[in-house]
């Protein structure tokens, strides 16, 4: 009988974040986030334009047009970050993220980090790096545990 290694919980939820990222409408980065508490998914989010408006796949990237480097001038963007969307989705459905872990394909920008702290998320797990390290000191001060893991395999393994 074929033996398949069971992924750890961190690997499992990071892999789910990768699948969530497939829905992104950003031309620069596909980012996915999954909020989890007690092994249960509370909400998900990916980066893209606000609901009901045209996105970068339709209009092109405003930041590319203006030659704005990644990690700078976040306000000049049609997109909402994956972490922000996960927090917003939880709020829309009346779900507290207090004490949760946020699994994300990239490290957070400082704006997302502030929202993570105020949402009382206690742990942030990623395998990727975003071009903004300003979150590190904020997470330390606020007591948000930050962990970088190995990127999970993109292969889906299961027994037929």
Q: Which residue has the higher pLDDT, 123 or 78?
A: 123
State what percent of residues in the chain have pLDDT above 90: 71
Query: What is the structure's pLDDT at 158?
Result: 79
User: Which of 13-17, 25-29, 40-44, 93-97 shows the lowest per-residue confidence on average (mean pLDDT)?
Assistant: 25-29
For residues 122 and 99, give the distance between their C-alpha atoms in angstroms, rounded to a whole number.
Answer: 5
Model pLDDT for residues 2-20, shown as the tens digit of each residue: 677 889 999 999 999 999 9
Q: What is the rounded distance in angstroms from the CA atom of residue 33 to the CA atom of residue 84?
A: 9
Which residues, 6 or more positions from 104, have their beta carbon under 8 angstroms from its beta carbon? 17, 31, 32, 33, 34, 82, 83, 124, 125, 126, 128
**pTM, to two decimals:** 0.93
- The CA distance from 112 to 30, in Å, is 16
pLDDT score, position 28: 87
Tokens 């948000």 — which residue?
A: 144
For the segment 66-88, the average pLDDT, to the nearest whole number, is 88
pLDDT at 57: 86
Note the pLDDT of residue 1: 65
Q: Which two tokens stand for residue 85?
A: 């969307």
Active-site amino acid positions: 83
For residue 68, the model assigns a pLDDT of: 86
Question: Which helix (H) or strand (E) segment is 116 a member of?
Answer: helix 110-118
Please report where in the chains the tokens 């394909």 appear, as a residue: 105
Instruction: Answer whether 35's CB lies under 8 Å from 44's CB.
Output: yes
Model confidence at 74: pLDDT above 90 = no
Which one has a higher pLDDT value, 118 or 26?
118
- Confidence class of residue 66 from pLDDT cuts 50, 70 and 90? confident
Mean pLDDT over 77-98 rounds to 96
Q: What percent of the chain has pLDDT over 70?
A: 98
């Amino acid at each position: 009988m074929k033996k398949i290694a069971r992924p750890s919980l961190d690997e499992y939820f990071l892999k789910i974040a990768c699948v969530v990222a497939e829905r992104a409408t950003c031309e620069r980065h596909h980012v996915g986030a999954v909020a989890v508490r007690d092994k249960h998914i509370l909400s998900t989010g990916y980066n893209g334009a606000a609901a009901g408006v045209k996105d970068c796949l339709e209009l092109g990237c405003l930041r590319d047009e203006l030659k704005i480097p990644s990690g700078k001038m976040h306000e000049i963007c049609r997109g909402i970050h994956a972490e922000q969307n996960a927090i917003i989705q939880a709020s829309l459905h009346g779900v507290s993220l207090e004490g949760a872990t946020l699994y994300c394909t990239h490290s957070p920008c400082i704006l997302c980090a502030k929202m993570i702290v105020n949402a009382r998320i206690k742990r942030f797990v990623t395998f990727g790096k975003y071009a903004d390290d300003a979150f590190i000191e904020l997470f330390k001060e606020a007591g948000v545990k930050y962990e970088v893991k190995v990127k999970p395999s993109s292969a889906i393994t299961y027994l037929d």
